Amino acid sequence: MPTRAAITAVHGYVPEFRLSNEVLETMVETSDEWITERTGIKERRIQTGRDQGISVMAIEAVNGLLKKRGIGAEEIDLLILATVTPDRVFPATANIVCDAIGATNAWGFDLGAACSGFLYALSTGAQFVETGKHKKVVIVGGDKMSSIIDYTDRSTCIIFGDGCGAVLLEPTEEPVGIYDSILRSDGSGCQYLNQKAGGSMRPPSERTLEAKEHYVFQEGKAVFKHAVTNMSEVSAAIMERNGLTANDIAWLVPHQANKRIIDATAQRMGLDESKVMVNIDKYGNTTSGTIPLCLWEWESKLNKGDNLILSAFGGGFTWGSIWLKWAY
């Protein structure tokens, strides 16, 4: 049997503060009914407090992960953090997390692929395990989206929230773990979903601040159209490539961007909604955090050998799917 990378533990963290649709009604011109009908979101969690970056949530998620697995931080070989809201431009937030948890033998880096970030990181980390290079790889996906959201822009502030999840990858010879992945990107989609300033092309200035260019910009209709097509197609493609039918799939673990996109993906795969993980109503779109938060919340319902399809679409454009068999 080939060596595969298996998820052997999962943990998540969401901030306590809840931002409900009812509160958003007092901030922008919107309504609970309008938000629910178009997105499926009822509330989202917001990280509050001074100097609280994504590292705070990541540290909580990883410490919980290690405790659950019963291992020490010094046993971690590699930590990959998928995020588009790092604490700083540099150093990598992964380094800050490793230092805080005491992962003295680990190296780490941040990976930015927006809402597909966790899939990209999971696939990347798996290859270090499959080749025998590393034995314990931690994959973290999380974002503090509230740090780059304009709460006067009703097209974006209703969608995003803060949250983080982490998984541990370890080698296995058993017929479980990550079997296949399809990852895609198309930079021509940059114009529809981006953060205009803050990078080397448009460094921070009075002008960029006045123009609100440090917030998420989204052309909703174009993004929705591409997301529905690409996320559903890549999910069906990984099933077809591996001879899987809807009956073989225990769970679809979709990126939580919009309930209508999730429904379209499940429909394309021929799945009943009872096989679809959905928690967008509670957390909104946490970008890199959505998929690991689903795994964390559904952990008790997963059985060893269950076929899971992980699927996402995000800024870049980036999109992809992963087929794995649950390992415990």
List active site positions: 115, 255, 285
Contact 111, 82 (CB under 8 A): yes
Rounded Cα distance, 258 and 96, in Å:
32
Rounded Cα distance, 164 and 167, in Å:
11
Burial state string for 102-121 with b = 16 or more CB within 10 A and e = fewer than 16:
ebeebebebbbbbbbbbbbb
Cα–Cα–Cα angle for 235, 243, 280, rounded to 5 degrees: 25
Region of residue 159 (left: phi > 0; alpha: psi -120 to 50; beta: else):
alpha
Strand pairing report for 78-82 and 107-111: parallel
Strand pairing report for 307-314 and 251-254: parallel
